Each structure stands twice: as structure tokens, then as C-alpha cells.
Amino acid sequence: MAIKKTIDGSVEPSGIPTTLAGEVTNEFKFNAGGVTHVSVKAKQGHKAVSKALPNNLASDNGFTLDRLVINLMIKDQKNAAVTNFTTPFELRIRYTPEDISTAGGKDKIKLAYWKAGKWVVFNKTDHNFKLEDNDFALVELSSWPSDPPIAIGH
């Protein structure tokens, strides 16, 4: 299992004004090597921050971990973690040609987050998961654990 191209979250990104579901939002972009690898659109008043990635997570329950991407937390204006959202936030994770090759094809790529000691795979029904043509996986979330790691796998 190769874990590569993790996002350096040592500097919090700036919010860019945008809209989502008719609400004023900010888009936070996490970059590595001059390329946006993660973007988050969250309702104004929230911010997206990256924390250090753990190094002890393994594959489980039908999810093979290929690459840890980011450990993401959403905070409010008081700097407290936000876990429920009246306006869902939008999360985009860039997948690479290496991810497609490792998964055995684009249609086999999965995106998951770590919760309670196991991987939770994003799906269309609960998270509106889809792979976009511009090499991003997209999910929309109404709830979010405090600061889970997110990974690409198959």
C-alpha cells in the first residue's frame, strides 16, 4: 500500500466567496505542488482546517486504503468543531491517474473516512457521491465527525 501526495495542512487556506444551495459560502482550497487536491464549500461562518494525518490506519471491511488525503475539520466562528449542518457542505477530493491505476479503473475508486475504528465509504444514497469528469470525487455532507482522516481506495 503506497500512501503518497498527502496534503500539507500546516497553513490554513483562505476562504473564497461562493454560493451553495442558495447560501453564501466560502470555498477553502488545500493545495500541494501548486495543484488543488481538496476543496470544501461551507456556509459562511464556518472554516475548513486540516490536521496532521495519522500513520496507523489499515484497510478493512471491503475498503482497501490506497492513499490518505487529508484529516478534515470544520469549525465555527468560535473555533469549535461543527458536526451538523443545516446547509450541507460540499467536499471535493482530487483523484490521480495513479489512484485509477491502483484501483483497477476509475469506476472502482472509493472515497472513505475513518470513524469509530473503521472506514465509512461514501455512497450515492447517503452522501451524493460521484466522480466528476475533472478528476474530483464529490460528496455533500449534512453531518461530519469532528476531524476524521479521508482516504482514496478501492
Write down the pTM of the prediction. 0.88
Domain 15-153: assigned CATH number = 2.60.220
Closest alpha carbon to 48 in 106, 89, 87, 84: 89
Helices (H), the chain: 97-103, 124-127
pLDDT digit string (tens) for 8-45? 555 567 778 888 777 788 888 888 777 888 999 998 88
- Reported as a single tens digit per residue, the pLDDT across 88-141 is 999 999 999 999 999 999 999 999 999 988 999 999 999 999 999 889 999 999
